[in-house]
């Protein structure tokens, strides 16, 4: 038997002109400026934000305060090995995650103080929920109610998939992303395999079958995720949905428990079918058929190969774990520049149960493409197809 090729190295942010370098050098400073202007922070917070800006662009990785509640956790996640090194010279996934942890420290999120528990990204999330585009998308649900069940299922799946374009952090570094046309054809589409794992009517013995949905962004992306969950529950494709969100504000627009409540309130206050979906989801949370989980590992700077035992057991027992978004895809397959034709099933073989990825492409990491698809994308767009947000995929490993 030939030896299995060694995986490519993890992605760093040290190459000028690369996408990861641009995130560290441009997106993170832009986020600091945006957060600074979003609240009437006091001088101490402004000084802390200035220090973070200097550190993440020109300085080195520094420790958390001695009294930080999660210092031990971050040491377990590799902090000691990266102290004193440039933000650009450590794994990009780790560097990004630690930036957001330090940003929360700078604005006093973990307290004590007046800013304790206040989400620095909340104004941007609420503005998106209140946008006219959200009204238009919710109004479209009325017409969808009259369509055949298979068509509704497909539309809601694709709504959740393309809702991933509603990513605030992505738009900060790509101002044209919100208006650029999406490419209708998916670069990979395992939708039929996904539906086969979630049969329309569960046998009585399987009524407790669980779908785990690892959410990505809040706002206009979380709403279609919730609508997909509502459909799966209503049609019996899932007996229970566990929605995994971040335990604290993360990656500017990632969903937290508070964002789930905001999205449900947005649904229930809308006219027409949207409100009915919202009321069903509200009731589902009350009776436990929709559960929200905010595990600390959801905000860890690590790939899913490092899943803790309790999450491994949970995903092993699920009928399917649905992984949403670009960051979660990077964690699922490993934040490495794989050859695009590397089989998705091979790099996710470690995952403890059936797993599916719904993702629009906004970073370099990609697996599971056919050689023909890759060559066509490169011929048309060189390497821009990887990060432009105009291509998407549905990949499943049963």
Encoded tokens for 108: 């006093």
The band of 91, judged by pLDDT with boundaries at 50, 70 and 90, is very high
* Rounded Cα distance, 236 and 315, in Å: 19
Task: Give the residue, 262 or 163, on which the prediction is more confident.
Answer: 262
Give the chain's mean pLDDT.
Answer: 91
Structure confidence at residue 389 (pLDDT): 85
- Residue bearing tokens 């031990």: 72
- Strand positions, DSSP E, the chain: 188-189, 210-214, 240-244, 290-293, 320-324, 355-360, 392-397
Say if residues 166 and 326 touch (Cβ distance below 8 Å). no
Poorest-confidence range of 59-73, 90-104, 164-178, 354-368? 164-178
Task: Please write the tens of the pLDDT for every residue from 5-24.
Answer: 678 999 999 999 999 999 99
Sign of CA dihedral 319, 320, 321, 324: negative
> In this prediction, what percent of the chain has a pLDDT beyond 70?
91
**Is the omega angle on the peptide bond into residue 112 within 30 degrees of 0, that is, cis?**
yes
Structure confidence at residue 2 (pLDDT): 43
* Rounded Cα distance, 27 and 362, in Å: 14
Q: Look at residue 337 and tell me whether its pLDDT is greater than 60.
A: yes
DSSP label of 164: G
Q: Checking phi first, is residue 271 left (phi over 0); if not, alpha (psi -120 to 50) or beta?
A: beta
Count of C-beta atoms within a 10 Å radius of residue 289: 19
* Rounded Cα distance, 41 and 371, in Å: 52
Task: Please write the tens of the pLDDT for every residue from 357-372.
Answer: 999 999 999 999 999 9
The band of 203, judged by pLDDT with boundaries at 50, 70 and 90, is low
Mean pLDDT, residues 26-35 taken together: 96
Q: Look at residue 398 and tell me whether its pLDDT is greater than 80.
A: yes
Mean pLDDT, residues 54-61 taken together: 94
Angle between helices 132-144 and 149-162 (to 10 degrees): 160
Taking the alpha carbons at both ends of the chain, their separation in whole angstroms is 25
Q: Radius of gyration (Cα) for the chain, nearest Å?
A: 21
pTM of the model: 0.93
Q: Look at residue 177 and tell me whether its pLDDT is greater than 50.
A: no
DSSP label of 2: P
Structure confidence at residue 184 (pLDDT): 43
Q: Look at residue 320 and tell me whether its pLDDT is greater than 60.
A: yes
Q: Look at residue 165 and tell me whether its pLDDT is greater than 60.
A: no
The band of 204, judged by pLDDT with boundaries at 50, 70 and 90, is low
> For residue 266, what is the enclosing H or E element?
helix 257-268
Q: Look at residue 330 and tell me whether its pLDDT is greater than 70.
A: yes
Structure confidence at residue 174 (pLDDT): 41
Mean pLDDT, residues 55-78 taken together: 95
Structure confidence at residue 173 (pLDDT): 39
* Rounded Cα distance, 43 and 41, in Å: 7
Structure confidence at residue 162 (pLDDT): 86
């Amino acid at each position: 038997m030939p030896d299995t090729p060694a995986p490519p190295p993890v992605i760093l942010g040290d190459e000028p002109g690369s996408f990861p370098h641009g995130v560290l050098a441009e997106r993170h400073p832009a986020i600091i400026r945006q957060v600074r202007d979003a609240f009437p922070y006091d001088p101490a917070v402004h000084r802390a934000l200035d220090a973070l800006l200097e550190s993440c662009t020109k300085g080195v990785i520094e420790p958390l305060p001695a009294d930080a509640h999660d210092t031990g956790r971050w040491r377990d996640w590799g902090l000691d090995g990266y102290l004193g090194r440039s933000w650009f010279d450590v794994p990009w996934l780790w560097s990004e995650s630690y930036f957001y942890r330090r940003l929360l420290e700078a604005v006093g999120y973990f307290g004590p103080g007046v800013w304790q528990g206040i989400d620095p990204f909340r104004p941007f999330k609420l503005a998106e929920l209140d946008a006219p585009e959200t009204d238009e998308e919710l109004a479209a649900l009325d017409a969808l109610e009259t369509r055949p069940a298979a068509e509704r299922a497909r539309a809601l799946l694709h709504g959740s998939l393309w809702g991933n374009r509603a990513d605030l952090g992505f738009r900060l570094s790509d101002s044209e992303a919100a208006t650029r046309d999406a490419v209708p054809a998916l670069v990979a589409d395992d939708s039929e395999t996904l539906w086969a794992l979630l049969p329309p009517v569960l046998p009585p013995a399987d009524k407790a079958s669980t779908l785990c949905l690892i959410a990505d962004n809040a706002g206009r992306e979380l709403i279609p995720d919730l609508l997909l969950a509502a459909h799966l529950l209503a049609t019996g494709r899932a007996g229970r949905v566990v929605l995994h969100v971040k335990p604290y504000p993360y990656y500017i627009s990632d969903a937290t428990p508070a964002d789930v409540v905001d999205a449900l309130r947005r649904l229930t206050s809308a006219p027409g079918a949207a409100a009915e979906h919202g009321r069903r989801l509200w009731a589902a949370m009350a009776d436990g058929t929709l559960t929200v989980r905010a595990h600390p590992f959801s905000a860890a700077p690590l790939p899913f190969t490092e899943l803790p035992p309790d999450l491994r057991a949970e995903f092993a027992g699920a009928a399917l774990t649905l992984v949403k978004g670009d960051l979660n895809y990077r964690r699922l397959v490993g934040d490495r520049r794989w050859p695009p034709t590397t089989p998705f099933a091979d790099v996710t073989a470690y995952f403890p149960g059936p797993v599916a990825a719904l993702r629009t492409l906004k970073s370099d990491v990609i697996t599971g493409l056919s050689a023909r698809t890759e060559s066509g994308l490169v011929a048309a767009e060189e390497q821009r197809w990887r990060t432009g947000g105009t291509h998407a995929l549905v990949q499943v490993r049963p």
